Structure formats: structure tokens, C-alpha cells
Structure 1
Amino acid sequence: MENCPGLTPRWVPRPVCHYLDHVEGGCSLQALARRAGCHASTILRQVRRWEQRRDDPLIDAALFRLGAFHRFHQNKTGETDMIAPLRHSPDLSDDTQIQREARRVLSRLTEPGALLVIGRDMEKAVVMRTIAEGKPVRVAVLDRPVAEAFALKDWIRCLARGRVMTYTITPAGRAAFRRMCAADEAAPVAGHDAPSPFAAQQRETGTRKIHAPGADAPRRIRCNMAESPLSLLARRKDREGRPFLSTDLVVAGERLREDFEIAQMGPRVTQNWDRFLTGADRGGFNSGSPQRGPAAARERVAAALRDLGPGLGDVVLRCCCFLEGMEETERHMGWSARSGKIVLRIALQRLKRHYERQGEAACLIG
């Protein structure tokens, strides 16, 4: 469906390319049908469908941006006011950026109760998730143009319109995320062919890489990508019927995971977190690096783990960031059965106190 020829970026679905070529480029339905190798009525249905979907604010804004992009590259007469939105936003022609953001954001949208929320005039969108106590928790932040691209690729659909709009992940978005997870673990094994990402798109499982102390190479672990161990523990009740993990503890864990996810997006995507596990050096990163983006996120994760120290830092790193289950964490740490969740709760209490001392400086957006 992607990588269509023409003046639009590579990631744009082919029906959208046909719509833009017809509406912005003035190409006839018959000419588009000959180029696509289909009947003109098929192109007509695609054009009508996307014209109707402009009721969605994100789709309308995305088509406006792409239309300006299309006209600029078609005319080659210089910049006009119509392409101003393209100059003040991330490069939507970068398919790598869209895929990288999709791995991070779609993984959060697959969690139960997760919604993407954005205001009409906001430059950022946030992913909110409702936990056991019914309180929303922010779990991810993304740029508005990226959210527009998700809507255009039919990965999210609008639930409510107004000054604040809410979106949920679609079956196509879930399938796309599973294909991404399958592609990440599709390295061929000796004597076997690589598994097909499309065959794995119906599965919820995925893999994470962790660096064990003393190991020469990272080790892959399988986990449920649709829900973190923190979410499972938040639904459990203690002897008095209260949630095992309170809302503020879940918020602290999700904040650490959000920083961890952003930290993997920078130039040092192969960051080795081995030195933050038990028995390793917990030195910080270069304090002279700019305090923004992935570099600042790595610094925040490092500061939190240094504050927690060995043991407590290990359990939050494994459970909140690597998404290891409690049983596997207990086995790696050499703890007795059913003791890991108690240590995790203590670690989250310490982590909450760490973020409280940081104040507004620990927040990612205003």
C-alpha cells in the first residue's frame, strides 16, 4: 500500500497518493487507473472515501500538509505561505522516523484503556491510559504531525471530536505493530528461514533485548507487548481490597518507561544498559550534553537508577523498561518466589520520591 510513485513521501498509502494526484495535481481518474493497473471506478471510490474522511481533524490537517508538499514539488516555483506548516514540523517524508515513533507509541496504544488525546491547537499529542483506580496516566508523548501520519495510515480512529479529540488504535494499527515486532525478531536462525511478519501479526507477543552482566551479546526475552508487568500488578488487590500498586506508583514507573523509550530513539540506539544492573558501574552520562530529546531522557533514566541503587534499580529497569515478568526477574536476581513484587513496590516508592525531588524538571511536557 505504500511506496507509491509521485510527489508524495514514501510512507503515504497509495489511495492517498491517488487522491492527492487527482485533487492537487489535476490528474484524471482514467490516467490514474492506467498507472495503477485498475478500473477508473476504483480510483473514484478511493477519492470519494478520502474526501469524506476529511471530517477527521488529523486527517484533514495531514492532507493539507501533503497537498502543500505536492504543489510545491510540482510547481518548483519557490516557497509560498501554503507550505509554512511543513517548515515548522518534523520531516514527514522520513519513513524511518514514522516507523520508529510507531514502535514506541503503538505499543502503548495496544494496552487496555489507552487513548491518544490531542487538542486542536496543541503541537503535541499524549497517550493516556486508565488504571485500576479509574485515573488517567500519561504514558507517551508524540509530535502532532506524527499523529496525523498515524491517522492517515489508518492506525488510529477518532472517537470524540471537539476542542480535545480522542483516538483509539484500530485493528490495522494492531496488525502493523505486530508486524514491526515480528520484523525485529525475524533474524534467520541457522537452517531456518526468517519468519514472515504478516504471519505473526495476529500474535500479541514480542521480544525485548536486555544486557546480562558478563554477557558478550544482548539476550532476547519474549514478553506481552500489549501490557507491562506494572499494569498487571496495578489490577491486583491486597488483603484490604486496595490496589497493590497505587496510582502515584504506576505514574512513577510509567514516567521511567517513557524516558527509557525516548532514550532508545537517539543516535546511540544501541545504548548498553548493562552497567546499570547489579554489580556494574552506575556512572552518569556526559553532563555537558544538551538537555533535550533522547540525550536528556538518557540522563534522567541514569539519574533515577543511580538514586535507587543496586537491587531496586535492577527491578524497575527489568519490569518497567525491559517488561520482564516477575517470575523471570526473581530468577535472574536469585530471589525467592513471590518476593519480587514486594521489592518492586518498594523500588517504585523510592522512584516516586526521586521524581518528587526533581519537581517540574522531571516532566517531559508542560
Structure 2
Amino acid sequence: MTQAALPREMFDFPAWVPAAARHYVIHTELGLSIRALAREAGCHASTVMRQIRRFETRRDDPLVDDALRHLAELQAVDGAPRPGERAKAEDDLTVLGKLNAPGAVLAIARGLDRAVIAYDGRDETETVDRAVAERLALNDWIAPLPAADMTARLVRYRITQGGRQRYREQLAEAENRAGGFAEAAVEFTYYSGKGGPRGTVRVPTAESPLAGLSRRRDKDGNPFLEPDLVRVGERLREDFELAQLDEASAGIAAILAAEGEAADLPAGCTAARQRLRAALDDLGPELADVALRCCCFMEGMERTERRKGWSARSGKIVLRIALQQLSRHYAESYGAYGPMIG
């Protein structure tokens, strides 16, 4: 069967399904050749072959086998529910968090719709939807115990290292959302000064991400961001707003270019641009980029971490370092109280 003979719907899998599992189902169940799959995926045929062979060896795992079988049965049925599709990211976070506890084991019997999580030394148990368990197994976030009998009616699973990493990433995303670093757009109101459009500045009506992060506590119970650091970040944003810059045109390179200011800019705007330029120049490219995006653009920390390829929750540490350096810059340049703005 050629690639052209297959409906495009057959390539439309739920977002949670790994690429290797998609290739396996399309090749073994729907009949597309490895070379055609490689062309579709934009990779070498040997890569697809290794993926297919690996999943073939994993079919001894009953959860993986059932997930692949369900995907194959329902893939071409338009609008049909797919295994784990009702399982949201919150379900992953909840179950992985429970399995991350010492001695936690997930046990599931063939033919049952619910799995059970049990803990060493504890009498309590918790149930998990089988669709969620299939999703975790297919992504290699849980795996059978090393000595597990795959032919037994009851199979036990533990969280894998990949599952622990996934749990940390999801936990960081949830903490960022709770701390004000969500990816949702920040609302702004606008007002104009006497100068018409030139006097227009943006005023954020949503809470500053810094304010949300300041409520977070470290392991000793101290604020993650001291009030002085929050004020420093807000001071940077005030200069950004007074400088009448916007996210579309205010990259680090443009600000540091130090080109001649427009003749019709108000004096306060020019002074704010000079203060902003001096602060970012003192921070250096990396710290300046984080401070500008978080404090001025209100960019979510998750997006910043992904864009820079950082590990989860590392962005807030870099931001705190940037604010500490910014605090020293303001103290050394302007003294304890600094210049009047405007």
C-alpha cells in the first residue's frame, strides 16, 4: 500500500502518542511501508525500522499491547475515542506523583478497567483508570517490575527514570502557572497623554509574574524573591513602559544599539531609554534577556525555559540572579533611592 492510498486521518494521532508508536501502528496495522513512513516523518528508514523493532519487543507488556491494539482499531474511525484521550495532563501528574513515592507499585489485571496503586508499609490503595495506565506505559513512564511474569493475570509496574523526569517537568509547569508564570496572554489597558499616540503607554491589569513568584517559599520557609528584588523588577518594567517600547520592537540588540533617539520623543522617554539601556548592558546578554522577557514582556517562564533549552524550574533561579545583579546596578548607579522617573 502506498502512502497516497492512505487517508490523511490515519496519520492523525492524539498528541500524547509517541512518534515511534505512531510509526509502529501505521506500519504493522495499516500497512504503510517503512520507506514511505520515513519520507512522511522526514528521517532515515533505518530510524523507523529501529523504532518498529523496539515496540515489537515491548508488546509483551500487556498495557503497551492493549494501547497499540486500541490505537490500531480506532485510528481510522473518525471521531472515535482513543485510549487515554480522556486522560489529561493533570491525570499524568497525579498518577506519576503517587508512583514517585517510595515503594509505590501499580498493579493491573488483564481485562479490568481499573488499576490499583499500593504502597509498601501502608494499608491504603488508590485506583487509576486503565486508559491513564496505558498512556503512561506507552510513553515508557512506567515499566513492569524486572521479575514480572508477563503471562500472569496480574502485572505490577513501577515508575521509570523517564517517568520521574516527566513528573518533575509537569510539576514545574503547574508551579509556574500557580506562581504567575502561565502562558496565558497578559491583559493591558491603554491611555494616552497630552502628546497623543506618542504618549500612549501600556499598563498591565493582570498581576505581575514577579508578584506571584514572591509568594513562593524556599525549603526554609523564606520568600523565594525578597520584596526588594520584586521592586527592582518592577522598576525595570516602569522604565520599559516610560521608554514607550513594545515587545515587537524592543529586542535586546535594538535597545543596546544606542542609536540616536527620535527628536520628537519626550525628555522622560529618552531618559527612561537610557536607564533601561544601562541596566541591560550591565546585566549582560543572557541575564538581560531573561529580565526583559519576564519583567517587561510578562513572558511565561515555561516558554523562556523551552526557548533556551533549560531544564524545568531553572529559569526562576536565573531570574533571581538577574534581579540581584540589577539591584546592585541600581544601588551603585543611583544610590539607595535612585533618580526620579518620568
Normalising by the residue count of structure 1, what TM-score does the alignment of the two structures yield? 0.45
Higher radius of gyration, 1 or 2: 2
Normalising by the residue count of structure 2, what TM-score does the alignment of the two structures yield? 0.48
